[in-house]
Structure 1
C-alpha cells in the first residue's frame, strides 16, 4: 500500500522554522490549492464579473532537516511550489481538554515553481507570477 500526495499551489504565508529538543529542524507552511467552483448542475460557476470562481483548500505542510532549512531560507508567501509527500493524521488534546484531530502533509520533496522577486531599494519581496524557465513540463 502506498501513501503519496502531490500538491501544486501557493504558500499562504512565509514558512515558520523551529528546532525540536532533539535538534531536528522543522519548517511548516500553509499551501493553498484551487479548483473551479461548480454550481448544482456541475457546471463551472462564473462570478458577477464573468471570471471562473475558485474553491481554495489549505493544506498544512511539514518539512524536516535539510529540506526544512532550505524551505525556511528560500520560500516566501505567494510562491508557487510543488510538494510531494505523505498524509499524516494527528490527534491531540487542547488546553481546554477537547480532543482535536488534524491532517498534514509530511513533505519528501518541494520544488520551487516561481522565484521571489528581487526587493526594490526599500520594498518587500513579492513572488514572480510566471514559472521558471528551467522547470521541465
Structure 2
C-alpha cells in the first residue's frame, strides 16, 4: 500500500528554512487548498454577489535537502504550487505534559504552477519542477 498525497494550492507565507546540526536542510511552508461549499442537495453555495463560497484547508508542508533548498530560494507567498508527497503524523508531549498531535505533508516534489521568484545570481533556465532525486550535489 502507498501513502501518496497530491495537493495544488497557494503558498500562505514565505517558506522558513533551517539546517540541522547534521547538515540536513529542512524547509516548511503552509499551503491553502480550496473547494466549493455545497448544500445538502450537492449544489454549490453562492454568496449574495453570485460568487461561490469555498472551504479552505491549510496544510503544513515539509521539504528536505534539495527540494527544501529550491523551495527556500524560489517560492514566495501567494505562488501556486503542486506538492507530491506523503502524509506524516506526529505526536509529542509538550512542556505542560499534555499529549499533542500534528499532521504534515512530507514533499517529495514541488512543481511551480506560477512563475518562481528569481534567485540572486540566477542566469535563467530554471526547471519548474524539482524532484529530490534530480538535485545535483
TM-score (norm 2): 0.82
CA distance in 1, matches of 2:117, 2:20: 32
The residue correspondences of 1:1-137 to structure 2 (distance < 5 A) are 1-116=1-116
Pairwise CA RMSD = 1.7
Shift of 1:116: 4.8
CA distance in 1, matches of 2:24, 2:51: 45
CA distance in 2, matches of 1:11, 1:33: 9
**8 Å CA contact retained: 2:75, 2:117:** no
CA distance in 2, matches of 1:44, 1:116: 33
TM-score (norm 1): 0.82
Shift of 1:95: 2.0
CA distance in 1, matches of 2:108, 2:117: 26
Runs of 4+ in 1 over 2 A off after TM superposition: none
CA distance in 1, matches of 2:81, 2:23: 26
Shift of 1:39: 1.7
CA distance in 1, matches of 2:71, 2:82: 12
SS of the equivalent of 1:17 reads strand
CA distance in 2, matches of 1:12, 1:65: 21
CA distance in 2, matches of 1:54, 1:90: 29
Q: Which runs of 5+ in 1 are unaligned?
A: 119-133
